[in-house]
Structure formats: C-alpha cells, structure tokens
A and B are shown apart, each in its own frame.
Chain A
C-alpha cells in the first residue's frame, strides 16, 4: 500500500516515455494516476488510519543498521496532499503551456519525477531516506531548470542552484553519518533523545541544509536566477519544492526543541531573511523576480515560526503560501497593467474603527478559547504580524473610494475569512496533533513581546527615515540593489581565488606535472604504509596529504581546458578518496576501496568510450536545438554517478567514507566535506562547458550502434545497481 503510493508518481512519470505518436492520451493516464493517489490520501486522512511503515534493511551489522523506511502519518499526509494538489494543477497547466515546445514529453517526465522525489522526502521514516529524497529533488530540479539546456543563462542558474544546495546536501550527508556513528541507526526518534551533545551537531548541520533549500539569507543567491525556465517550473519550485527545508525542521521539531540555541539561530535567520528579502523585492521591477524575493521573504517568516517552536504554524504557512505563490506565478502574465486604484488619505476615525475592530476580534478569539487565540497569546511575535495584516486590510478597505455600506460589507467578508482562518488552523492543528510536538516557545512570551515591541518601533523608525532621511534611503537602496552584496562577496572571496588556484595548477605545465607525480608518490606511499604498517601518526599525515591533494586535483579539474584533462583530474581526485579509505584501518575500508575502484573503473570505461566515439565522428557544425542526444545522456549519467547521487555507487562511498573518517580521524571530516562540494562544482562546470551549450551538445550527436547502447546501459546500470543495493556487494 505504502510502497504503491510512494512509487505512483514514478510510474506516472515513466508513462511519458511510452512510445505513442499522439501523446495526449498518455498525459491523461498520468493525470488519472495522480488523481487516484490524491483520492487515496484524502480517504486515508478522513479515515484517520495510516498504513504500517514499510522498511527495507540494507545492512544489519552489530553496531549499526542501515535501512530505508517509509512512514505515513497525519503530518506527512497533509503535506503530501498539498504537494500533490499543487503538482496536479501545475502539471495540468504545463500540458497546455508547453504545447509549443517540441520536447514537452521530456519536460513532463522531469516534472512528474520531481513529485516522486518530493514524495520520497515527505514519506521518509528516517534520515537516510529523507536524504535520498532531498538529493533527488535537487537532481530533478537541475534538469527542469536546464530545460533549455543550450541556453547558457539557464545552465548557469541550474548549476548555481545545485552547487549551493550541494553545500547543504553534504551537511545533510554528514548528519546522516553522525547519526549512524552515534546511534547505529538514522531514525528520527533517536535525535529527540535528551542530553545527547551529538544531537546539536546533527541538527545544526540539518539546519544548514534547510537554510540552503529554503533560500534563507545568506544562502539565497541561487533563487532569483532560476527564472530561465518555463513558468510551471517556477510555480512548482516556489510553491512546493522550496518548502522542503521547512518540512524537515518541522519533522524534527521534537528534536530541535531540545536545543534552544539552534531555535534562536533559526528565529534570527528567519527574521533577517524576511526583512532583507522584502527590501530586495522593493528594488525589483519585473514580476517574476519580485515573486522570487517574495517567496524568500515568506520562507523567512516560516522559519521564524519554526524557530519560535510554532511548528504547526510553520507547516500551515507553507501550505497556504504554496497555494498563493502557485497562483501568482501561473497568473504572472496578467500583471502588465497597473491595476490598483488611488487610496484616499487615512482619517482619524478610520484608525479608531480599525483599532476597535482588532481589539474586538482579539477579545472574541480569547473568549472563544480556540487554538488560534492560544497561539496568538503564546507567540506574541506572530500575533504581532497577524495583527498588522488585519490592521492593513481594515485600513485599506476603509480608504477605498466606495460607498460606506460597500466598504462595510467588504470588511465583514474579510473578517469572516479571518475567523475562517482561525477555524482552519485549529482543525489543521487537531489533524496533525499526534505527529507534531506540543507547541513550546523557544523565546519566552516575555522576550517575544519585547522583540515585537522593538520591531514595531524599528518599523516606525524605518518608515519615518525612509520619508525624511535621504541618505538612509539611499544606503538601503544601494544595499538592496546589490541584493545584500552576498553574491559579490562570494565571488570575490571564494570563487575567484579558487578559480585562480585552479588556473595556476592547470596553466603551468610544471605544476600539472608535479601534481601528477605527487599523486603517483602518494599511491606508492599509501601502498607501502598499508603493507608495512608504519606508525599511526605518519598514516594520519599521509591521509591528510591525500585529502589536500584531492582538493587540488578537483581545483585543477575545474579549470582545465580540455574535457579529457578535466575527467582525468576528477578520476584521480576520486582515487585519492580510495587512498584515504585504505589508509584509515577500519574493518570496512578494504572492501570499500575495492568497491569504489571497480565502480570508478566502469565509469572511466564509459567516459573513454564516449571520447573515442566523439573523436571518430566527423565534426559537423549543426545546431540540434533543444534535443538531447543519447551519448550526451550517457555522459551526464556518468558524471552524476561521480557526484554521488543517491542510487549510484559514489553515494555509498561518500556515506561510508564519512563513517570511516568519523571513527578514525574526525579532523579530516571538514576537508572531505569541502572536497565533495568541490567535486560537484567541477562536474557541473564540465557539463556547463562541454555539454550544455548549443555548439557543444551537437558534438555529442553521434550515432550509436546497438551494441554500444548495451555497453553503456550495462556499465552505468551496474553502477546504479551497486548504489541501490550496495551492501550486498560490499560484504
């Protein structure tokens, strides 16, 4: 049951590859499948009974257990329903919207496959499964953002998104390893144990992951660039996918509540993000970028809610914001004409009326004793924002140029809708009650009141300064126009030095030669050390040297001029990883090294075959438009096998290497994390330079023999299989 529900979107996505000349009926099949899934979910929700967990044990060792687990409860169900609903609407929209696209089928496949990845995350019953979904989401989005893969802007945006998210992904992966190391499993429940210092590390790393995924300041810079893709992608991304961070935090709510410091960090990140993004938005003119910054700002509000411990509010906000933002993106063509009327100036009686109405609403809420009122009292900071919105609505209605009774009617309707919101939120809270921890505030009511009061003061001051002090306005304007200067700083202090380092290694023949000789020396030394069993200290130094060499090789692979040189750099860098595993004498390391060597060898074979093919094929300068040739597909899969996408062998290696390093030499952890991020950078850069542009992709357009197809499928398939059922190969 659970398995079927989980795999449903995957089947629906695969439907798009069925051969059919007139593909319209296929779309309907896919839609019907998803609708059936929606029906099942609603049925389950109404029934209130959830199917038992489905789990698959991959490895059962004395001290640790690696397993996949699918789990459905009210929390999962509510999010699944919302995501599926929005997904259905967007898929329905895309069927018509992309009619004029010759490669609609490919687009629809990735769009539906994205739902599968989101399902995996939402239904995950432990950290490992959650990570798999998490990483697949990024992978799917990479393809969707790359729909016009020949367009360098689209590709740059997709790469940027993947790389910045990769920072979070690596943190997530380390968190999974830490959990395995500390508890022997990756269950969510282990993280909620009190008085475990390791939890602070795990949850902190997960928080970084959530911050990258939900575009929180300062890791938001990928978000506004992702508009070089058809509108439905923006809709699903801003309405559904970006919520992944919030969901993860809420799912681990009970655990986060144990560590108040993290909660405060969360609340602060949320506050900074919500305000800065709304300023960025105020400096942009075009509809979609304004919407993108609005999303970022809303995610900030959601993270603030989570940081205060009001997880039910955060989740409710996610869902409602999803509806609102999907609507806004899909409706973005309607924004050409300025539509708002001029408001009349505010009068004193209007202020008094608004105050009275707000006060009576608050009194009503308190006397009704609903959860809503409890929330507002327990979280005065949120109450403050809700109050502000109601205030704004009231005053705006009163200032409209309409007859008095028309305004009264409009106001009544708005207040009815507001009470409806209270009822809705209460029902939602009751629905998810069992799955979510009881709301407990990280900042005391008192502190929150103070924060709210000072925010009000600051906002008034800000509004005043904006009117009066030109220099203040100018500064804020400059800061917003530069989007906070984060991107410039990132480029100046990280990217440019890193590239310069790569250039030095690559452009000087001596440096390149030295690097290669050094690698050979490392191999010899490692073999010697493992055979001879020299002192532990020397081994440690050697492992450190290997790790640093790996970084250097990746830096070189990032900048080499020829595709072949880059691939050599990558493979050598990965080989360093094998050396590190060999050097750290853990029970699994020998198997692991062998495992990685085999898989690396297979990937190398695939790459070499592709190079040979391309070299022999005649160079024909033709544009192949938005097609994606088979060779290019194989090449991309081989590249993503090297990155370590869950379901490929490198993923297993990465997980196990972290495990080994944690046991033997935790200091290496950070270098390795950096290495995995840089690996992704180098690989995506290869795809950008040698595949994803109009001129390059045509070079991959070489005819393949049937036997070559078989070779590619088998070699890559072996890699994928060994990634999926790795441990049977390992042990």
Chain B
C-alpha cells in the first residue's frame, strides 16, 4: 500500500457508519477503532477532533452523592488502572474538581483555516459543501438540484461549473488521474508532511462527520434500496482539500502557518476515567448481588403459555410483569427470531428486516388487505394532494383552493389528537395495520426459504433459547415496535435487530414456519419434538403504550379460550409496566396521547439506561427487578456442550447490544458530534436524515431528547457489562478463538463477568 492509501484507510477508521434515518440502526461510533483499547483510541481521536468520551465532572459528582459510585467500585477501578487506592481520597479529589467547559478546543490539524481564522474558513467550506451534499443524497427528485453524475466528484464539478466557475477551473487543474493522486497533489500543495496525512485526513472527516458516515455506509452497502449514488469516501476528502487549496491560492498569507503541536487533553481526564470505571463496577456489584440473592419464583410445572421476546431492555419489564400476573415462562432472543428478509411494499420503500451484522436471506411481500371504497378514494386523493402541492405552478392557487381543509385538519390534530388518529386510520388504513403495521403475505414464505433453511433456522432459534422440550400449548413469539407521530426518529424506537422496523413481521414468519408440519418433522429428526397441540402465534409489544397485540390468524380453534386468558393477563401486565414507566418519563401526558400527539418529542425513552447483557436461563433472573436496564438472552449451558450456541450469541447479539450501548453512551457524552443534537431544531432531509436548523452537517446518533431532559442527562452512560452463565473454560475457549471479542473485553470497551453454573 502506498502512503496515501495507508493514511486514508487509517483515517477512515475514525468514521462511524451511519444508516439513513429511514432504517435507523444503532452503531458504535468508534467500532473500527476497537483494536486499540478505549483510552488509547479516545486519545488518538482527540488529536483530530474535540471528542468528548466521558460524562462531565458534575455528572460524576452527582453520581457520587447519590451513592452510585461505591468505594468498592473505586477500589476495583484503581486496580484495573493500576493506581494505588486510598479509601475516601477519590471522593475528596472529585469534590474539588470543576468542569473546564470553556477550555480551548485542543485539535491541532483541523485544516489551516481552522487554525488561522478561528474556524471561519472551515465553517465556510462546510456550509458550501453541505449545500451541495444535501440535494445530492436526498431521495426527493429536485428539478434544479445538482445532477447525480457517475460519482460524487463528477457531480461536484458540474455543480461548481454553474455556481463558481473559477473554482471549477481550479478543481479540474488539481484533478489527478485517480482520486488518490488528487489527494496527494492537494496535500503537497498545502504543505502537509506525509507523517501527518492520517491525522489531517481524519480531521477533515470530522469536519463533516455526518456525511462521511453516510458515505461509509453507502460504500459498504452499494446494493441498498434507499440511496443509489456512487460516493467513495476519498472523493469527499478531495472536494474538501480542493476548497482548501482554492482558498490558499487566493489568500497565500495563510500558507506559512505550520500545523500546531497537539496539545495534551484536559487534566480532568484521568480522574474522570477512573470514576467512569468505578461507576460501571459499582453497577456490576449491585447487579451481581441481585443475581446471587435471587429468590426464584416457583416456576409452574406446565406454564400456561411460553413467550419469546426480543433481547431489548424494554422486554425485561414486560417479561417481569407477565410472569407476575400468571404462570408464564418467557425467553429472550434477538428480535429477528431466526429469520431475516427484505419486506417489499408497493406503497413505500423496501424494509430490510435484519440486523446490521448480516444481510437478508429472502424477499417477502406485504400482505395486501382488501380496501374499502373510502380507503381507495382517500388514498387517491392524498396522493394527488402530495403531487399537486409540490408542483411549482399549481401550488399557488392550490393553497387558496384547499387551505381551509388543512386548517380543519390542524385544528382536529392539535386539540383532539386521538380522534384525528382514529379518523385518519379509518380513512386510510385497516385498523389492524394501524395498530401493528404491515403483515407478511405468509403464503409465499415457504417458497422463499428452502426447507433445509427453514428447519435449520427453527432449530437454531429453539436451541439457542433452550426451548427444546416441555412445550406448552401456546407459544407466543413477540416482536416489538413503537407508535409515534411526526417523529423522524421513529425507527430508533423500533427493533434494531429488524433493521429499525417493527419485529412483528419477523415474529409472524417464525411462528408460521414453526407451525408447518414439514418443519416440525425436520425438527423431530434433530431431536426437538414439538407436540401436536402446541401452537405458535405472533404478537407485537407496542412499547409506547405497552399494549400487546396478537395475530390470531395462526391460532388453532381449540386454543381460543386459552388465548383469551392470555390476552387478559397480557393487558394487565402491560398496565403494570405502563404505571412503572410513567414515573421515569418527563412530563405528565398519558402514553395514549404521547403515541399520537404530533408535538410530542419524547414518546418513550426506548433503551435508556441500558447497562448489561445477561446470557443465562431465565431462572437466574426471574423475580428480580432489573429496572429495564438489561438485555436478557436465554441460554441453557446444559444444551451447549461444544459452546457453539454461546459463540453465536457472543458474536451476534452481544456485539449488537454493545453497539446500542455505545450509541447511547456517546450520544450522551458528546450530543452534538455523536448524538443528533436538539430535536426542536431538526430539519428533515427526505430519505437521508436530519440536520439542525437551516444548514448543518447530517446528524448522527440519538437526539438529546432520547437521552436527556432539559439540561441534564437522563441516560447514565455505562459501557456494557456482559454476564455469562456458563463454565469459565467454555467462555475462555471462545475468547481465545475470537480475537475481535477478546479485544472488546481486554480493551475496556465492555466488561465480561462469568458466573459458573
């Protein structure tokens, strides 16, 4: 590899990977840096951008006063960081510390202009660039937007040709035979020494981190259904550098400014890092104490029904309450339930129902429910309105002609949001669709998966959760999804394992296949005997109001009374969970209103305060209130002699949960860079994401309203603690054979605790 290739590859590692907001998937912003350990990675990142990776001093002080940092935790943290421990000293040091919030930004290389002109030129270049990038990536078809040529660079040249002719000429002179040549030419012209290239390029990425992250995703997923343009990351650099060179050519007086030496990062870091570890260890102590002091409820010998939920932390709450209202047994598995697919819908974009780690295996269709006349007419009218109001000439008289109807709609939607939601549902969709979203056309599922895959998927699913015998008559597979209105971040509230969509369709597919006689026959060959009378059905846990909806289409007629009982209990459990959650949500609005109110910015808090991932049979955690902070994956060490199941869990769900946890973590510690800032300012770019206000970079991560309230964080940023209930030797074996995983735990990105059975 040449020097520039190495520098580019290294610099690209500092860029997160960002899925478009239509399919929001939690991603660890520093995932590709996890070969280094946490402090080293942060330090190397802080050389190029003012990244904040720890909570503020005030937060630690508050945690200390509230007793969330114990002396025991501090002692353990000191041991980890190889510092001497003296009881009480850290507490005193903490009390004397204050936030150096106004410290000068300590990033040295961030282009000549940032240094020379106090960020003025970098700001100018950024806004010029964003002006071009937003229309380039959006899914809107704009008549006067820059053309999408073969690649980003070409499109940018043709954009320049109509907006800034001088710069266009300059850029075509600068252009080399390849983009890398252009980069080298520009870097040489700017006088950046080759040893600094990596940092220089990385700092450019961090100037437009949002679009860089989107382009990284685009390059990894060129076949995605959302954005179909060619935009390699190095072209973004080439464009930025071209701006820099162009400014330099016109203002040569900046040329002599050498890149400054990196300043040391702020002095509070060592203590804050120690406290961060201490907070996490303190939490672990509490969790492990809870687990070891468990008082297992007497599990009913034959549960009334068995439930499989997503590992999502919100499922912990509903599982706990379900078990408390009736004789139920619950399991946890990643929300795609063993079957991944692309869901095609005529009316809108394809949805990819699969976790970020692998691709879909089948293409399924949405079930087209028959429409009433009013629905067809309303649909036609709505589509006509959408088209006509976009038409430039028709729009003028259009608002005059039909404005009064918008006034009426606005009045109803403001003062009677629930009535409006019901009316719109009545007019546009079937009630079933409104409550649970689209359903899968199940008749075609069998053709899409070969029988072998069906049986393997089903067997893997059942074995992983340890449900291979003692089936009850009814097994409910329950996905989850949210209900929210006027919220571009809706998909961040849905199931991440289903690609930011609801998990209902995946549950449907799993339940359907598990009911198939052919599949059951195949399972029998593998030693899993599902009794004749066992029936699998799909359900949806709607997490905003905590309602459970059941798909009755697969229900055997004999099971109807049973389902009625189950439904009653589910409603009670949902109510209890709702009461429990209501305390922790800001504001007093009832959940039913939050779900439909268009002014609501906090419909629910999703996976807030997630902190641990427990891989264990449910018996270990039954009856303990884990406060909706843990991912729970069912696992029976007895059924997994060779450790294959554990290996799959560690490589799949644990990594995804780690991403989720990291996203919450960094959205809290650095809400402007890795979080998407203030939701009140969000300005949607259709098909891509949001920006803040009239011109800003594309925003990554979660909005502040998802992790905090007013001026304080509600999410306690903790790195994920993974608790495994398995023989230590088995875990060690897996870690030894998977360097990626061991890097995660050894590099302080996450913690691992093993409980011996």
Contacts and interface: CB of A to CB of B under 8 A. Distances in A.
B292 interface: no
A350 interface: no
Given A100-B586, A481-B159, A334 B486 contact: yes
A207 B420 CA distance: 42
Given A286-B683, A288-B683, A389 B602 contact: no
A154 interface: yes
A283 interface: yes
Given A92-B415, A289-B683, A402-B380, A478 B135 contact: no
Interface string A151-171: 101100100000000000000
Interface in B314-344: none
A336 B406 contact: no
A478 B164 CA distance: 9
Nearest to A387: B397
Contacts of A230: 680-681
Interface in B139-161: 139-140, 142-146, 158-159, 161
A623 B679 CA distance: 21
Contacts of A421: 400-402, 404
A286 B406 contact: no
Q: Is the interface of A mostly helix, strand, loop or mixed?
A: helix
A101 to B, nearest CB: 7
Interface in B381-432: 381, 383-384, 386-388, 390-407, 409-411, 414-415
Contact of A386 (B159, B401, B414, B486): B401
B348 interface: yes
A92 B414 CA distance: 7
Nearest to B709: A100
A409 to B, nearest CB: 5
B134 interface: yes
A281 B144 CA distance: 9
B686 A336 contact: yes
Given A336-B488, A409-B373, A474-B162, A417 B401 contact: yes
A622 B101 contact: yes
Interface in A284-323: 284-289, 294, 297-298, 301, 313, 316-317, 319-323
B83 interface: no
Contacts of B695: 153
Contacts of B393: 278, 385, 388-389, 392, 459
A98 B587 CA distance: 11
B601 to A, nearest CB: 6
A640 interface: no
Contacts of B102: 621-623, 695
Contacts of A319: 403
Contacts of B299: none
B386 A332 contact: no
B220 interface: no
Contact of A481 (B131, B396, B411, B597): B131
A424 B600 CA distance: 34
**Interface bracket on A:** 35 or more
A476 B163 CA distance: 10
A645 B589 CA distance: 40
Contacts of B624: none
A480 interface: yes
Contacts, number: 303
A330 interface: yes
Contact of A388 (B387, B397, B411): B397
A400 B694 contact: no
B694 A288 contact: yes
A320 B410 contact: no
Contacts of A333: 486-488, 598, 682, 684
Given A102-B711, A406-B373, A478 B163 contact: yes
Contacts of A195: none
A368 interface: no
Contact of A285 (B145, B415, B679, B682): B145
Given A229-B681, A338-B687, A224 B694 contact: yes
Interface string B583-617: 00011110000000111111000000000000000
Given A327-B410, A466-B143, A622-B102, A320 B383 contact: no
Contacts of A407: 380
Contact of A324 (B379, B399, B589): B399
A414 interface: yes
B377 interface: yes
Contact of A406 (B22, B376, B397, B399): B376
A298 B274 CA distance: 59
Nearest to B414: A89
B442 interface: no
Contacts of A406: 373, 376-377, 380
Interface in B653-692: 678-688, 691-692
A285 B387 contact: no
Contacts of B392: 278-279, 281-282, 297
A403 interface: yes
A396 B679 CA distance: 35
A340 B387 contact: yes
B485 to A, nearest CB: 8
A96 B600 contact: yes
Interface in B464-488: 485-488
A402 B145 contact: no
A340 B383 contact: yes
B410 A283 contact: no
Interface in B334-384: 347-349, 373, 376-377, 379-381, 383-384
B282 interface: no
B96 to A, nearest CB: 16
A393 B394 contact: yes
Contacts of A317: 399-400
Nearest to B142: A282
A623 B680 contact: no
Interface string A80-112: 000001000100111111111110000000000
> Of A93, A279, A285, A323, which is in contact with the most chain B CB atoms at under 10 Å from its CB?
A285
A433 interface: no
Contacts of A337: 22, 348-349, 686-687
A301 B486 contact: no
Contacts of B398: 389, 392-393
Interface of B: 21-22, 99-102, 131, 134-135, 137-140, 142-146, 158-159, 161-163, 347-349, 373, 376-377, 379-381, 383-384, 386-388, 390-407, 409-411, 414-415, 485-488, 586-589, 597-602, 678-688, 691-695, 704-705, 709-711
29 contacts: A92-B415, A96-B600, A97-B680, A99-B587, A100-B679, A274-B396, A282-B392, A285-B142, A288-B694, A294-B395, A317-B399, A320-B404, A321-B403, A323-B403, A323-B407, A324-B403, A327-B406, A327-B407, A331-B486, A332-B486, A337-B686, A386-B397, A386-B401, A389-B398, A396-B388, A409-B373, A421-B404, A474-B161, A481-B144
Interface of A: 24, 85, 89, 92-102, 148, 151, 153-154, 157, 224-231, 274, 278-279, 281-289, 294, 297-298, 301, 313, 316-317, 319-328, 330-341, 343, 382, 385-386, 388-393, 396-397, 400, 402-403, 406-407, 409-410, 413-414, 417-418, 420-421, 424, 459, 466, 473-478, 480-482, 621-623, 625-626, 695
Given A94-B599, A317-B400, 4 more contacts: A274-B396, A284-B135, A333-B598, A338-B349
